[in-house]
Chains A and B, each alone.
Chain A
Amino acid sequence: MKNQISSAQLFCILFVCRLLGTFTYMSQLQTTLHAGSRIVATGVCFLFSILSAIPVLLYLQKQNNVSFLNAVGIVSEKTAGIIGISYAAFFLFAAIITITRFGLFAGTVLVQNTGLYISVFFLLLVCVYCVYQGLQPLARTAVIFAVILLFSLIAVIAGTIGECSLINIPGIRENEIPNIIKQAFFSACRNIEIPALLFIAEEIKGKAHTVVLKFITAFSIISALLFTVAGGVLGEYGDQQIFPLFTLSSVAKFGFVERMEDLLTGIWIVCAMLKTAFLLYVASQCLQKSLHKEIKTCHTAIGAVLIFAGYLLFSADIPTTIRLLRTWLLPAGYIIFAILLPIVLYLLFVRKEKKLQKENRI
C-alpha cells in the first residue's frame, strides 16, 4: 500500500506522543508518591501496559494489514458505524485531555499572564493541516523530533547526573503499595496510542506488535531513568513541584548550555502538536470509515473544533482542569476501548469469518 509508515516511524510516533505525558507528569495528581515509589510505579506500569496491550497486540499480529473497523464491518456494518463513532469520541476526549494538560503546564510554568486560547487555536489549526497531509508526513516529523527529544533527554540527564544522590530516593513503604498500583494503572491507561493502532493497521508496514512491545519497554526504561534522576537531584523539592521533570530540566547544565528548559519547552510544544494531530487523525479515520464518506477535511475540522471547545470548557478554572485530569473516564475508556471491545469484536469477527468459510465450502 502506498503511503505506509515504517516500523521505525511508528515507534517514533508512539515514543514522541507518550513521552509528552511523562514530561508533563504532575505530582500528586492521582496519588501522593515519593520518588522511590514513583520509580516502582513505572515498573508496575510497564507490566500493566503490556497486559492491557495484549488484545491490540494479538489483533495486530493476526490481522496486520486490516483496519479494525473493516474487520468489524464483516461482522455487522451497523456495529462498525457505531464502534467507529465511539472510538472517535474516545480519541477526541483523549486529545482534549492532552491539550488541557498541556495548557495547564504552559499556563503554570511558561506564560502565566497570557491567555493560551490563541496559542491552542493555532496549534489545532496546525494539527488540522497535519492531518490533511496524512500519516506519512506526521510520521516523518515524529522521526525528526524523536531524535531531538532523545538528545535533549540525554542532555538533561547528563546535565544533572552530577548532582544526583541516590540517598534522596526513599524506599517504598507498605502503605504506599495501593497508591503505587493506582498510579501505575492511571499511567498505563494513558497509552491511548496503542488502541489507536487498530485503525491505522493497514497503514503500517512491518510488524506493528513488535514495535509496540519495543515502545513500551523503551518508554518504561526512559521514564524510570528520568524519575530516578529527578528524585536523586531534587529530593523533597521535587515532591513540591507541580511538574518535577520540568524543574529537573531547569536545573540541568550541560557545559556552557544552561536554561535547557527553554529549549525543551519548544520541543514539547511540537510533541503536543504531534500527539494531538495523531489522535485527531485516528479520530477522523474512525469517522471516515464508519460513515463511509470521503469528507476527511470536514471530519478533521469538526474534531478540532470539538477539541477546542473541550479545552475552553475544561480550562476555565483550575479545579475543573484538575477534575478532568483526575477523572476515571479516561481509564474507564481505556479499559473499554483498548481491552474489552477489541477482545469482544475480534472474537465476533473470528466467529463470523469461520462461519463464512464454512458457507463457502458448502
Chain B
Amino acid sequence: MKFLSVLLCIVLLFTGCSQSASTELSNRLIIEAIGIDSDESGYKVSVLALNTLQTGSAGSTESPDGIAKVFTAKGNSIADAFSQLDLISAQIPLYSQARVLIIGKETAENQPLSALNFFIREHTTRDDIPVAVAETTANKIITADLGKNLLVSKVTADLLSSGKRNGQTVRVPLYSFVSRLLNETDAAYLPVLTVEKNAQKKDEIRAAGIALFANDNYTATLNNKTMNGFLYANNLIDSTLLEIDYNNKNISLTVRKIKTKTEINEKDPSVFSVAVSFSCDIIEHNSTNQDLNEQDILQIKLLAQEKIKKYTEDFLYYTLHDCGCDCLGFGKRIRNKYPTYYEQISKNYTSFLKNVQTVVIAEGAIHRPGREVLSGK
C-alpha cells in the first residue's frame, strides 16, 4: 500500500504537465483589454494583448508598443472574431486577465445583451470584468496612444475605479450590468469613455458621462449635470468635491460618508422617498475675510444640502420623465412589496415612470471646518 501511495503522489505531481494538456505562456495571447464594435457586416474585436515574447526580460526598457500589441479581427459573431484573432496572432487567447471590456457606441445601441453573450457563456472570461461604452468606437479607445509606459488597459481600469472618489465615472462589473439588463424594469448603466488629445498631442482617455439602458436599448447619456445626482442616489461615490456659492464666494467642500436610502411609500406605491445623508469638510474658501463663524457653517451646510437635493431631483426628473429609465430599482421595490400592483404596471412601465413621484431629502453635517479657528462673531 505504501508503494501505491508513493506511486500515486508521483503520478499526481506530473498530471497536467504533458505536452498535450499544457500551453506554454508564450503561446498564450494574454489579453489586457477587449473592445467590441459592430456594424451590418458583423463584429469587430480589438484586443490589447501583452507581447509575451518581449516582456520576458526583467528590466525591459521596451516602449508600450513593445510591451503590448493591438490585434483586430472581424467575424459574424464575437466567437468567430476571436477565432480569427487566434489565426492572426498565432496564440491562444486568454481572456481571464483582461482588465476592461469596452463596447462601441453602435454595439451598445443595438441590443448589447447579445454582444455580451460570449462573455457570459465563456468559462475563462471574468464575471466581474469592468464594462464601459466608447463615445465613438471601442477600437479608438483600445488603440489610443497614451505615451510611453502607459497601457490603455491599466489607465482605463484605474480611471473607472477612481469614480468612487472623484464622482466623475462609475465602475460597472459585467454581472451587475447584465443583471440590470435582464431585469424587466431596471435601467442598466455603463460609464462612457472618450479619447481626446492633450497639450503634448498624446491621447488621453476621459470619462464622458454615463450611458443608460432600458429594455436592452441605449436610451440616454447622463452628462455632468445629471450624473452627480445619479451617483449620489445610487450610493456610487465614497467622496466627492462639492462647490457652493456663499455670499458670492466660492466654498469647496469634500462630501463624505454618502448614504442614500430609497423607500417606497406605504400608502401609495407610486411615491418614493430618496434620502441622502452625508458628511462635509470645508477644504477651501476664497474669501479675503478668512473667518467663518457658526452661523456661516450652518448656512454652508444648508446650501450643501440644497445643492445635493437639487442634483438628485434633476437626475430623477431627467431619468424618469425624459428618458423613462428606472435607475433606483423602483420596479423591484414594487415587485417585492406589491406583487399584484407590479403585474399591472410592468406591462407599461415606461408610462408608469412618468407618473412616479419622488420626495428627495438631503441631510448633511459639516464635521471639519478646516484648520482655521472659528470666528467668535
| A-to-B contact residues, CB < 8 Å | 108-110, 112, 114, 118-119, 122, 125-126, 129, 132, 163, 165, 167-171, 173, 233-240, 247, 250-251, 253
Q: B173 touching A170 by the CB < 8 A rule? A: no
**How far is it, in angstroms, between the C-alpha of A108 and the C-alpha of B124 when the chains are bound?**
10
**How far is it, in angstroms, between the C-alpha of A124 and the C-alpha of B1 when the chains are bound?**
15
Nearest A residue (CB) for B330: A167
Is B352 among interface residues, defined by CB-CB distance under 8 A?
no
**How far is it, in angstroms, between the C-alpha of A236 and the C-alpha of B1 when the chains are bound?**
51
Q: A129 touching B5 by the CB < 8 A rule? A: yes
**How far is it, in angstroms, between the C-alpha of A239 and the C-alpha of B120 when the chains are bound?**
12
Q: B183 touching A250 by the CB < 8 A rule? A: no
Q: B336 touching A170 by the CB < 8 A rule? A: yes
> Which chain B positions have C-beta within 8 A of A253?
128
Indicate which residue in B15, B179, B333, B337 contacts A234 across the interface (CB closer than 8 Å). B179
**How far is it, in angstroms, between the C-alpha of A122 and the C-alpha of B179 when the chains are bound?**
39
A-contacting residues, B66-84, CB 8 Å: none
Indicate which residue in B8, B175, B333 contacts A251 across the interface (CB closer than 8 Å). B175
| Shortest Cβ gap from B333 to chain A (Å) | 6
Most buried by B among A114, A118, A171, A235: A235
Q: B4 touching A171 by the CB < 8 A rule? A: no
> Which chain A positions have C-beta within 8 A of B8?
122, 125-126, 129
Nearest B residue (CB) for A114: B21
> Which chain B positions have C-beta within 8 A of A114?
21
> Which chain B positions have C-beta within 8 A of A112?
123
Decide yes or no: A235 and B183 within 8 Å by CB, A118-B15, A251-B127, A251-B173 being known contacts: yes
Q: B123 touching A167 by the CB < 8 A rule? A: no
Q: B12 touching A122 by the CB < 8 A rule? A: yes
Nearest B residue (CB) for A110: B123
> Which chain B positions have C-beta within 8 A of A236?
178-180, 182-183
Is B332 among interface residues, defined by CB-CB distance under 8 A?
yes
Q: B127 touching A247 by the CB < 8 A rule? A: yes
Is B370 among interface residues, defined by CB-CB distance under 8 A?
no
| B-to-A contact residues, CB < 8 Å | 1, 4-5, 8, 11-12, 15, 21, 120, 123, 126-128, 173, 175-176, 178-180, 182-183, 329, 332-333, 335-337, 339
Q: B128 touching A240 by the CB < 8 A rule? A: no
| Shortest Cβ gap from A238 to chain B (Å) | 8
With A108-B123, A238-B179, A240-B178 already in contact, 10 other A-B pairs whose C-beta atoms are closer than 8 Å: A122-B11, A129-B5, A167-B333, A173-B339, A236-B183, A240-B120, A247-B127, A250-B127, A251-B127, A253-B128
In the A-B complex, list the 9 residue pairs whose CB atoms are closest, starting with the nearest.
Answer: A235-B179, A236-B182, A237-B179, A237-B175, A251-B128, A167-B332, A236-B179, A237-B178, A109-B123
Q: A129 touching B183 by the CB < 8 A rule? A: no
Q: B336 touching A240 by the CB < 8 A rule? A: no
> Which chain B positions have C-beta within 8 A of A132?
1
**How far is it, in angstroms, between the C-alpha of A240 and the C-alpha of B180 when the chains are bound?**
12
Q: A247 touching B175 by the CB < 8 A rule? A: yes
Q: B335 touching A240 by the CB < 8 A rule? A: no
**How far is it, in angstroms, between the C-alpha of A163 and the C-alpha of B183 when the chains are bound?**
17
**How far is it, in angstroms, between the C-alpha of A129 and the C-alpha of B179 when the chains are bound?**
45
**How far is it, in angstroms, between the C-alpha of A142 and the C-alpha of B178 when the chains are bound?**
38
> Which chain B positions have C-beta within 8 A of A167?
329, 332-333, 336
